Structure 1
């Protein structure tokens, strides 16, 4: 009888185990994307968003930011994608899960 009770307690405790969130990629927030402006250099973009998780080996002017979180509490997974296009080391366009900033076309160049 004692081994049976021990087994039941072990199974009950295992089902209550805490599951952590699994986060992968570049953590991207809208407030950071809103800081991006057309004609920013790659260095300026990397300062704001960090280095991209993927740099296209065949096209050095395309940067990919990906963020994926698998919530341990059962919520649906979340995935954010952002693709940045550069021309001659200057940011030209962005697209992805986060909308382009309202002031994106207001270049930092004066």
Structure 2
């Protein structure tokens, strides 16, 4: 009888002990996972180093009129406004308050390069050009070469072999040249009967 009284009292403790086992296993697994995450973080590359390899594409932004050194040299004092417009194109800025000047501004923004800005101002007296003020302007070839964003290789590999290389190749492969294949035997000649015989009924 004593055993039957103790047995119901023992069951809640057994339930507590059996419920503690999954909880402690869960806590142990969580601690191990957190410890693994901290050691993996040291070996994996950081977001900043990955961002150095993968960068988004940014479109080149060209604004304004491209004015080259050759165009600026073509301008002469005494030219009419229409002649200046024919050489440089329409000005980017033509103010009502400053009718005696035209401003040509060119801006180039490219990915991975500092932005460039060049300015040329044409001054008029009435409708006749008086003088120009300009930044250092590139020549046309310099400007076109600055737009080429492809990677420049240091040296172009040779695409043809020299005479010495050909002779060395022939000398090296002279002993290992394959023997010519024997000629195939001539096929026996065959004769076929004619398809139609002359004088046969149709």
Question: How many residues are treated as equivalent by the alignment?
Answer: 87
Question: Could you say what the CA RMSD is over the residues aligned between the two structures, in angstroms?
Answer: 2.0
Q: Which runs of 5+ in 1 are unaligned?
A: 1-10, 100-110
Report which of the two structures shows the higher radius of gyration computed on alpha carbons: 2
Counterpart position of 1:102: none
Kindly indicate which of the two structures has a greater share of residues assigned to helix.
2
Counterpart position of 1:53: 92
Counterpart position of 2:64: 25
Tell whether the 8 Å contact from 1:39 to 1:91 is kept in structure 2 after alignment. yes
Structure 2 residue corresponding to 1:82, chosen from 117, 120, 123:
120
- Shift in CA distance, 17/39, structure 1 to aligned 2, threshold 3 Å: same
Shift in Å, 1:26:
1.1
Shift in Å, 1:16:
4.5
Q: State the distance in 2 between where 1:96 and 1:36 align.
A: 12
Q: State the distance in 1 between where 2:56 and 2:67 align.
A: 29
Q: State the distance in 1 between where 2:86 and 2:93 align.
A: 16
TM-score (norm 2): 0.40
**Which fold has the larger relative contact order, with Cα–Cα distance below 8 Å and residues 6 or more apart in sequence?**
1
Structure 2 residue corresponding to 1:36, chosen from 70, 75, 83:
75
TM-score (norm 1): 0.70
